């Protein structure tokens, strides 16, 4: 299988999982508050599309080390995409970026018709929400509990190192 075929197949599989995952999160958010639902929808839209290289690399690394279960690794690979996008939401605010992936950045979306402070505040919360959702996907994955704990420990170390940067 060529790399382009692998990416295409991965993108299709991951998008299917991603869509089901966010459908459930929107159902949960709807029960909470309209702003919560809007935030989940905006996070979903922000992450959709793209090449999904990080998630694909997660799958490739897993397979390179002998992993066999596509069903188990897909949620973890989607977590990588959600986590990365969430960090970008924070980064866009920090760097005062106005456009990401050809669309207004999250803080600019939420600033429209409101204050810059409001937009930044909600964008940071949306970014945090994505970090927590990604973390939950890893924690709730179907791997052995020792592997999950090790993965979460490594994930947290990487997130701390990102904050240090």
**What pLDDT score does 136 carry?**
97
**What pLDDT score does 49 carry?**
72
Tens of pLDDT, residues 85-134:
999 999 999 999 999 988 899 999 999 999 999 999 999 999 999 999 99
**Token representation of residue 43:** 């996070």
**Full 3-state SS string of 111-147:** HCCCCHHHHHHHHHHHHHHHHHHHHHHHHCCCCCHHH
- With contact defined as beta carbons under 8 Å apart, do 54 and 28 qualify? no
**What pLDDT score does 118 carry?**
97
**What pLDDT score does 124 carry?**
97
For the entire predicted model, the pTM comes to 0.93
pLDDT tier for residue 165 given thresholds of 50, 70 and 90: confident
pLDDT tier for residue 1 given thresholds of 50, 70 and 90: confident
Q: Per-residue pLDDT averaged across 2-29, rounded?
A: 93
Distance CA 148, CA 112 (A): 40
**What pLDDT score does 2 carry?**
85
**What pLDDT score does 51 carry?**
78
- With contact defined as beta carbons under 8 Å apart, do 78 and 14 qualify? yes
**Token representation of residue 121:** 């505040």
Helix (H, G, I), strand (E, B) or coil at 100: strand
- With contact defined as beta carbons under 8 Å apart, do 155 and 163 qualify? no
End-to-end CA distance of the chain: 37
Q: Per-residue pLDDT averaged across 63-92, rounded?
A: 95
Q: What values do phi and psi take at 23, rounded to 5?
A: -60, -45
Tens of pLDDT, residues 20-62:
999 999 999 999 999 999 999 999 999 987 778 999 999 999 9
Report the phi/psi class of residue 144: left, alpha or beta, with left for phi > 0 and alpha for psi in -120 to 50.
beta
Q: Per-residue pLDDT averaged across 141-161, rounded?
A: 96
């Amino acid at each position: 299988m060529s790399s382009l075929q692998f990416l295409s197949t991965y993108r299709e599989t991951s998008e299917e999982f991603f869509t089901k995952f966010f459908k459930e999160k929107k159902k949960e958010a709807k029960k909470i508050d309209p702003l919560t639902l809007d935030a989940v929808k905006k996070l979903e839209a922000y992450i959709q599309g793209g090449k999904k290289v990080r998630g694909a690399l997660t799958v490739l690394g897993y397979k390179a080390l002998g992993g066999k279960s596509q069903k188990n690794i897909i949620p973890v690979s989607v977590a990588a995409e959600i986590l990365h996008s969430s960090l970008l939401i924070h980064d866009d605010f920090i760097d005062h970026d106005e456009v990401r992936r050809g669309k207004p950045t999250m803080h600019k979306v939420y600033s429209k018709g409101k204050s810059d402070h409001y937009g930044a505040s909600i964008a940071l919360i949306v970014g945090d929400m994505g970090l927590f959702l990604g973390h939950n996907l890893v924690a709730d994955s179907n791997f052995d509990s020792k592997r999950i704990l090790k993965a979460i420990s490594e994930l947290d170390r990487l997130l701390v190192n990102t904050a240090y940067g």
